[in-house]
Structure 1
Amino acid sequence: MIFDRKQQRLLLEGTIYTPEEIARLVAEGAENHPSALWDLYLFLNEWFSDSPAMTVHTSGSTGTPKELTVRKDQMMQSARLTCEYLNLQAGDTALLCMNLRYIGAMMVVVRSLVAGLNLIVRPASGHPLSDISVPLRFAAMVPLQVYNTLHNLGEREQLKQTEILIIGGGAVDEALEAEIRSLPIAVYSTYGMTETLSHIALRRLNGNSASDHYYPFSSVELSLSPENTLVIKAPLVCDDILQTNDIARIYPDGSFVIWGRKDNVINSGGIKIQAEEVEKSLRPFIPVPFVITSVPDPRLGQAVTLLIEGQLDMEELKNKVQEILSPYHRPKYIRMVDLIPQTGNGKINRIECRTLAEKLL
């Protein structure tokens, strides 16, 4: 692996590009390049600059989007950890199909530079494999991209030619995980955040090694706060100890599971309700995007509220909710909306969902 940025080269669809060639491509201007390649050239130009750090953006799924300054040497350590764990080798084909504004996409490029992967670039879209004709060794996608791919016959067959798929940027729900189990490739869900420079743990979703538990890299130390939220010490990729809002359980072998986020706990009449757990119960019965959120309530404090994208039979839905949820967990309000608010990289925007629910009620 190559950790000296001056010695790194990008292998892009079989052609090697030096830092000088990247600078020349940037000088030609955006109008002379497809948008996905232009974004890549801009990222690389910043990567090869003398600055030891660069700016990344958080998604804003649970708070206001932030700009973070991260060190390039730590990004390369993160790349090394993933490449070693997945045994990615020089010349392996890797697909970049996500927005380079966010850390997940950036790290696909950094892995390519460090390990000498052959990068295949496609615009960030819901159907990243629609015009891919070569077998891929490695791809990284968000859950929506995987869902769309599995529901298109040609793209599903192409996915079967991909040896390793990692899924990040959001939770993999039970229905999607069930579809993934039959794939003849290695599929992992990732756990991490912008501050950890992509993931610090992986969970195998299919095959003999499939598990409900995430397994951290060996250099990562985990503990729990008094509120049972995960605390991460990952010195290779982050200088600070990170206090997350993710409610977790850590097992004796070092693996862990995530139950939900502390800020998604709804306190309704003194009963603490985890929004993600209610969503998990409803997901098999609601075939469209939806979210569990809350609105202020003078009696309960917070009232559980269900927002559904599109139109469903309300009476049938209410009957199903009555059947599968305990009284405390049942939504007091159900509202149909045109669109469930999302962040720029496809996560549910919980803050905007709460704001929308309050406006509707």
Structure 2
Amino acid sequence: MTSHTSEGTIAWPADLAAEFRAKGYWEDRPLGAYILDTADRLPEKTAVVDGDLRLTYAELANRMDAAAERLLQLGLKPDDRIMVQLPNGWQFTVLTLACFRAGIIPVMALPAHRQYELSFLTELSEARAIAVPDVIKDFDHQAMAEELAVSIPALEIILVSGTAKPLNVRLEEILAPVKDVSAARARLDATAPSPDSPALFLLSGGTTGLPKLITRTHNDYAYNIKACSIPTGVTEDTVYLGTLPASHNFPLACPGILGILFAGGRTIMLPSPEPRKAFAAIEREGVTLSTAVPAVAQRWIEYQQEAGTSQLATLEVLQVGGSRLPDEIARKVKPVLGATLQQVFGMAEGLINTTRLDDPEDVICTTQGRPVSEADEVRIVDEFGEDLPDGVPGSILTRGPYTPRGYYRAPEANARAFTPDGWYASGDIVERRPDGNLIVQGRDKDMINRGGEKISAEEIESLVYRIEDVTMAAAIAMPDQVLGERLCLYITVKPGREVTLEQIQDLLRRTGVAAFKIPEHLVVVDELPTTKVGKINKKDLRADIAERLAAAGVHAK
């Protein structure tokens, strides 16, 4: 029987699905089963740490199954959707696992989302429930959830972490343990979701438009997790610190929280990557692995350079992804933080690339790695879809056993992003080296076209970071009547310091950069705008420079 959610999902062709099974990529097991495996093997080992709360694997499995039963008792059914808007904490982990067990599909919203995004996502997914915190940083998430329920009749159940109002349900009660969970386990095993059914909805990234829903099945997501765990060296001795929003694919499953729990390691939940708290947690728990976006990695490097702490002695690997890490910052990770850098380039839509821990330093610092699976197919093509040779930047196309074949209920987006034979176009511009490692040159919308000459924004940004006083850099296209576009650079600088356009131009000339790549306009700001994912919001910067040009009486186009 086809589930409601499956009706909006594009399945892999039957022959490919059979091949993925035959080769062992798909194991035909629901995600919850892997957690139970670990709990049976290591019942007394600590699985999740959140402040003073420590859950063993036996306790985690108990809460997972007890919560799965309670969600069903609330009236939710397998294949129903629940919006999950929770900060990093044990509640997020247990609720997500409980959904996997019950066959309820979590929609991974972000704590930063507000009514505009959540209304769209709730209606698109037809969610019947939402899980929110009560208040974070003076924002009342519970009140927002109530407003959503008024405007969206299908949204019937509001779960609140913290203090729940009378008509809402306190999430912690749903996630509470029971004395004997064996009966619940037997019942849930008997009604376990199909491994081919949707396990969760991730949100598409990007800075334009509202997010799209990415359907990940139990089979493909389990393989995603396992394939990512191998190059990261995850074992039951791994201690993972999660500070990025856990609802993102990167900290959730690359290998992330789920990879650690599959392996029997320990995961530490922290709602913020603020260096003082993160470093204290690393020292206290003996953290061996953590994840960061480039801006966080840079903050950690600067903090360690200033404070000179001894708190990072156990940190072995720092994964950095989400956007291209400038080479100059990459080269500081090992000497300053003491950890091996692992660059990660991937997408919630599937393909994950990593550098390997034993790669030469040059590969680690200047590339974004290679696919984690032998089954990942990658093509680099030109604007006409023709394959390009190694060393020539082009658009990346990919497909494989954990790259879905389309977005959920999004035919127009699917027509743009997926080819009829299943190749996914992420919009990333990459260059493949002869050794198979990829270098991310930016986004197709992040290439500046100066009179026909293409400039990679990320290439310029990486060079500008060689100026010590530059703390953040963003290169964007500035509209121009003559050339169509010119290169404009936005930067933030260290307090009390000054960086001029002439200084940057001189650096690039001395570096030997082509003249057409040298920035022609500089804007120094106190802070760069960011997206909800923490990436620099270049859409806002393009709008800002257009306003500045108009105010100056410059008619760009």
Higher mean alpha-carbon deviation, 109-118 vs 330-339, is at: 330-339
Contact persistence 1:61–1:342 (CA under 8 A): no
Contact persistence 1:130–1:155 (CA under 8 A): no
Give the corresponding residue for 1:247: 429
How far 1:354 moved relative to its partner? Answer: 1.0
Higher mean alpha-carbon deviation, 2-11 vs 262-271, is at: 2-11
Deviations 1:150-190 (A, max 9, x none): 33347863334122222111221123212123254432101
Return the match for 1:15 from 50, 56, 67. Answer: 56
How far 1:45 moved relative to its partner? Answer: 2.9
Give the corresponding residue for 2:379: 223
Distance (whole Å) between structure 1 residues aligned to residue 497 and residue 310 of structure 2: 37
Give the corresponding residue for 1:334: 522
Distance (whole Å) between structure 2 residues aligned to residue 155 and residue 41 of structure 1: 36
Contact persistence 1:60–1:66 (CA under 8 A): no
How far 1:282 moved relative to its partner? Answer: 1.8
Deviations 1:282-336 (A, max 9, x none): 2212523221112322222123222233699999612213322554333333223
TM-score (norm 2): 0.57
Distance (whole Å) between structure 1 residues aligned to residue 31 and residue 401 of structure 2: 21
Give the corresponding residue for 1:41: 94
Give the corresponding residue for 1:116: 264
- Is the counterpart of residue 195 in structure 1 residue 349 in structure 2? yes
Return the match for 1:168 from 318, 321, 329. Answer: 321
Deviations 1:319-361 (A, max 9, x none): 2133225543333332233421211221112222211221222
- Please give the secondary structure, in 1, of the residue aligned with 2:471: coil
- Is the counterpart of residue 235 in structure 1 residue 401 in structure 2? yes
Give the corresponding residue for 2:548: 360
Amino acid at match of 2:444: K
Between Structure 1 and Structure 2, the one with more strand by share is 1
Amino acid at match of 2:485: Q
Distance (whole Å) between structure 2 residues aligned to residue 207 and residue 118 of structure 1: 26
How far 1:40 moved relative to its partner? Answer: 2.7
Q: Tell me: CA distance 1:251–1:305, structure 2 relative to 1, closer, same or farther (3 Å).
A: closer
Amino acid at match of 2:471: V
Q: Tell me: CA distance 1:172–1:311, structure 2 relative to 1, closer, same or farther (3 Å).
A: closer
Give the corresponding residue for 1:147: 298
Give the corresponding residue for 1:279: 461
Q: Tell me: CA distance 1:300–1:78, structure 2 relative to 1, closer, same or farther (3 Å).
A: same
Instruction: Please provide the CA RMSD for this pair.
Output: 3.3
How far 1:231 moved relative to its partner? Answer: 1.7
Q: Tell me: CA distance 1:88–1:313, structure 2 relative to 1, closer, same or farther (3 Å).
A: closer
Deviations 1:30-62 (A, max 9, x none): xxx986233333323323331432111233246
Distance (whole Å) between structure 2 residues aligned to residue 343 and residue 96 of structure 1: 19
How far 1:88 moved relative to its partner? Answer: 1.7
Amino acid at match of 2:352: I
Distance (whole Å) between structure 2 residues aligned to residue 86 and residue 289 of structure 1: 28
Higher mean alpha-carbon deviation, 115-124 vs 58-67, is at: 58-67
Amino acid at match of 1:340: L
- Please give the secondary structure, in 1, of the residue aligned with 2:311: helix
Structure 1 residue ranges without an equivalent (≥5): none
Q: What's the % identity of the aligned pairs?
A: 20
Q: Tell me: CA distance 1:266–1:313, structure 2 relative to 1, closer, same or farther (3 Å).
A: farther
Deviations 1:98-152 (A, max 9, x none): 1023111221122133222222211133322333312223222222222222333
Name which one, 1 or 2, has greater alpha-carbon Rg: 2
Give the corresponding residue for 2:479: 296
Distance (whole Å) between structure 1 residues aligned to residue 315 and residue 99 of structure 2: 30
Distance (whole Å) between structure 2 residues aligned to residue 155 and residue 252 of structure 1: 39
Give the corresponding residue for 1:307: 490
- Please give the secondary structure, in 2, of the residue aligned with 1:246: strand
Deviations 1:71-110 (A, max 9, x none): 1321110111122233322353222221023111221122
Contact persistence 1:149–1:156 (CA under 8 A): no
Q: Tell me: CA distance 1:184–1:322, structure 2 relative to 1, closer, same or farther (3 Å).
A: closer
Higher mean alpha-carbon deviation, 286-295 vs 246-255, is at: 246-255
Q: Tell me: CA distance 1:255–1:63, structure 2 relative to 1, closer, same or farther (3 Å).
A: farther
- Please give the secondary structure, in 2, of the residue aligned with 1:194: coil
- Please give the secondary structure, in 1, of the residue aligned with 2:466: helix
Return the match for 1:181 from 320, 334, 337. Answer: 334
Distance (whole Å) between structure 2 residues aligned to residue 20 and residue 189 of structure 1: 36
- Is the counterpart of residue 131 in structure 1 residue 131 in structure 2? no
